[in-house]
Chain A
Amino acid sequence: MKIRYLLVPVIVSQLGAGECGGPILDDSGFDLWCGDTLCAWGLERGQIARVPTWHDGDAGVGFIGTDVAIDQLSSISSFGETCVEISMIADIATDAEVDVNIDLGDDGVVERMEHIPTASWQPLAYTFLISNPTGGVRFEVSKRGNGAAVLAQLKGVSNPGACTGLTPITQLPAAAPACPRGTLGPGGTCP
């Protein structure tokens, strides 16, 4: 059983989330740990650890190894377009490749990938316009390479006014996935 299936209660509790200004991700500060893993985030692959950030008491998630990914299925669900603003605090080494992947409908097909540049705890923010996100949206953070990467926060909110001029991301057919999961290239294109 995949870990993300454990999130069903959370998802249920988030029905109706995604309204203006509301959070669309749980445990945005990676504060809730169930043993060695996060309670609200699924471990897709690899290994993670609870590591200190600016303060020993304020923990973040450290990506251990060369291929690690965590994900969370958001309850975003509407018949129109939803503007999502993702903000994060991260410490990413130069030899680490960290991406944020967006999978509409949670069908395993990644419709958009954003590469996170090298960072040293400065705030980063991205905005996505999602079209007709029925079936929810899965947010995945993956890390490749030998370099260290720590995420202190990954916050997602619905912000209708922040997507002016953006092209909506539409769901690709699950039967003919444009790119297998984890292989989407830069700019959202398949290799």
Chain B
Amino acid sequence: MKASITLALALALTLATGSAHADGDPIATYALVLGSNSGGQGQVDLHFAEDDARRVAQVLTELGGYAPRTVDVLPHPTPQLVRERLAALSTTISAEVAAGKQVQLFFYYSGHARATALDLGNDQLPLAELRQRLFAIPATLTVVVLDACQSGAFSRVKGATPAADFSFSSKQHLDASGIAVLASSSGSELSQESEQLRSSYFTHHLLVGLRGAGDANHDGQVSIDEAYRYAYHQTLIATAETAVGGQHVSLEVDLKGHGEVPLSYPRKATAAIELPPALEGQTLVEDRRSHTVVAETYKAKGTAVRIAVAPGDYTLVVRQGDRLSRCDVAASATSVVDLARCSTEAVVVATRKGGGFEHPLRVELALAAGGERDDDYTRTLTNFGYSNAQEATTGVTLTGLRRIHPYVWIGATGAFAGAAAWRREGENHPQSFEWATSELFAVAHGELPLGSEGFASRLAGYVRVGLGLGVASTRFVDAMGTATDERFLGAAALVAAGFHTGYAETGGFGMSFGYQGEYAPIISNNLDQTHASGGHRLVVGVSYGF
């Protein structure tokens, strides 16, 4: 089971010379790209942080103008290694600057973090130290991307105020002084990975934006501002319905000078897939060789969108309403998608933009045991000489749930319980009476994790209520051994509370245990007495989320 990962991104820009670089300027580019799947104490390992780092490096070399030899990718680094590489960069860049060149530095980190430090396995690199080292490097332009939980805290290190919303415009701030920070989550939010995207939500959408989907003004390059706006929208949409909750990308910029700061140049890519103006719908571009999602975006009608990709074979999947179009595209130059040549089929399984709930469905099988409710009905049995030696009712419940809110599920529960037989010894065949109740409930289920980290994040308290119908069948065997069967139908109710392990976001197998009360006043006798089948029971169950 994979826990949602903390991802945070912060982007800081410093422009020491007072002007944004333009085409033709002698600019040297360097990148240090870090990815660490390892979790520290109380943290689960991430799945895609190191892969995200490699993808970032790939986009930088394909579309960002970075020479491959200047992009240093470090999987699962130690704090000491990071310090050494930053020191080396500082030396190299100082020499470049001394030679009269403008230098652009890109720093990226994906992994665990807390509000005060990056978590590199069991070691930590304080955010304050990282900021101090980064800003000590005399680059003309420094871009820092931190994709980790609470990455918004990076700006707080220096006392900056996070951007209020996505309407922030870097152009309005170019004349201001201070720090600019772009973060995948706020200082208090968790960042998340997506099993479906096989990436963090933020890095995935940032890279899709850099590949061209974020080029809002269609000038062939994606600026920091454009990338931020695109990543903000797509990340928030994709995470809004997850159990962890919405993830707000923030941008803080402290730039001197005027003009936009381009991060990528998709128009200069050697290969691209162009989505024609007529195309509208949720669009997904999959690399057929690696089976990875290169881009996923909602394409609006009326404007062509060009997504830069590496040369190769891709599958384009476009969902328009209840129709799904599938196109194979060989990207060698700019390949315009012709929907008329794509196969079309009906949507069979609903897809969710950005992944939506990672594990929105759960089935649960539970065993229940407990006492049967005492009432006038059972007292009559006692008066007539019947006794119930075991006094325990056992049963099984099967529940299917679908999540409709981070903490709310709906579904159905089927329950079956059989009461132990009541017997009366007689001169001949002993008389016996027993019943079993089957119930079908529509249920509402609320579940809240007990914490955000470690085991507590995987242990959730839950409450469940249900209303439905019950069918009870009784069997009376008289002194001659003759059986009389009866059936009863009526309303039933269910309440339950307990704990579920295996945090919903991660899906897979889980366990639950708790209390369950069932109430089904169904069985009646000739004395107009009704027995409420059910009672107070302990339940233990196993579940599977998918």
**Binding site secondary structure of chain B:** loop
Quick one: given A29-B479, A31-B479, A58-B478, are A52 and B428 in contact (CB under 8 Å)? no
Is the Cβ of B428 less than 8 Å from the Cβ of A31?
A: yes
A-contact 0/1 string along B512-531, CB 8 Å cutoff: 00000000000001110100
Complex alpha-carbon distance, A122 and B478, angstroms: 21
Complex alpha-carbon distance, A57 and B383, angstroms: 16
Q: Does B484 contact A (CB under 8 A)?
A: yes
Q: Does A79 contact B (CB under 8 A)?
A: no
Enumerate chain A residues within 8 angstroms of B476, measured Cβ to Cβ: 55-58
Complex alpha-carbon distance, A26 and B484, angstroms: 24
CB distance from A16 to the nearest CB of B (A): 16
Q: List B454-498 residues whose CB lies under 8 Å from chain A.
A: 476-480, 482, 484
Is the Cβ of A55 less than 8 Å from the Cβ of B433?
A: yes
Is the Cβ of B384 less than 8 Å from the Cβ of A152?
A: yes
Is the Cβ of B431 less than 8 Å from the Cβ of A122?
A: no
Complex alpha-carbon distance, A31 and B484, angstroms: 15
Is the Cβ of A32 less than 8 Å from the Cβ of B428?
A: yes
Q: Does A27 contact B (CB under 8 A)?
A: yes
Complex alpha-carbon distance, A182 and B479, angstroms: 32
Is the Cβ of B384 less than 8 Å from the Cβ of A153?
A: yes
Q: Nearest A residue to B381 by beta-carbon distance?
A: A54
Is the Cβ of A26 less than 8 Å from the Cβ of B427?
A: yes
Q: Which residues of A contact B (CB under 8 A)?
A: 26-27, 29, 31-32, 40, 52-59, 89, 121-123, 152-153, 155
CB distance from B88 to the nearest CB of A (A): 90
Enumerate chain A residues within 8 angstroms of B484, measured Cβ to Cβ: 55-57
Complex alpha-carbon distance, A54 and B527, angstroms: 6
Enumerate chain A residues within 8 angstroms of B529, measured Cβ to Cβ: 54
- The range of chain B's interface size is 20 to 34
Quick one: given A56-B484, A89-B384, are A31 and B526 in contact (CB under 8 Å)? no
Q: Nearest A residue to B380 by beta-carbon distance?
A: A54
Is the Cβ of B428 less than 8 Å from the Cβ of A55?
A: no
Complex alpha-carbon distance, A58 and B424, angstroms: 11
Is the Cβ of B527 less than 8 Å from the Cβ of A31?
A: no
Is the Cβ of A56 less than 8 Å from the Cβ of B383?
A: no
Complex alpha-carbon distance, A133 and B93, angstroms: 122
CB distance from A141 to the nearest CB of B (A): 18
Is the Cβ of B526 less than 8 Å from the Cβ of A53?
A: yes
Complex alpha-carbon distance, A173 and B42, angstroms: 95
Q: Does B426 contact A (CB under 8 A)?
A: yes
Is the Cβ of A58 less than 8 Å from the Cβ of B384?
A: yes
Q: Does B68 contact A (CB under 8 A)?
A: no
Enumerate chain A residues within 8 angstroms of B477, measured Cβ to Cβ: 57
Additional pairs, 14, CB under 8 Å, beyond known A29-B479, A31-B479, A55-B526: A29-B426, A31-B428, A31-B478, A52-B526, A53-B526, A54-B384, A55-B484, A56-B526, A57-B478, A58-B384, A58-B478, A89-B383, A121-B383, A152-B384
Enumerate chain B residues within 8 angstroms of A89, measured Cβ to Cβ: 383-384
| Contact among B380, B383, B431, B433 with A31 in the assembled complex (CB-CB below 8 Å) | B431
Is the Cβ of B478 less than 8 Å from the Cβ of A54?
A: no
Is the Cβ of A27 less than 8 Å from the Cβ of B427?
A: yes
CB distance from A102 to the nearest CB of B (A): 22
Quick one: given A31-B428, A32-B427, are A121 and B478 in contact (CB under 8 Å)? no
Enumerate chain B residues within 8 angstroms of A40, measured Cβ to Cβ: 427
Q: Does B277 contact A (CB under 8 A)?
A: no
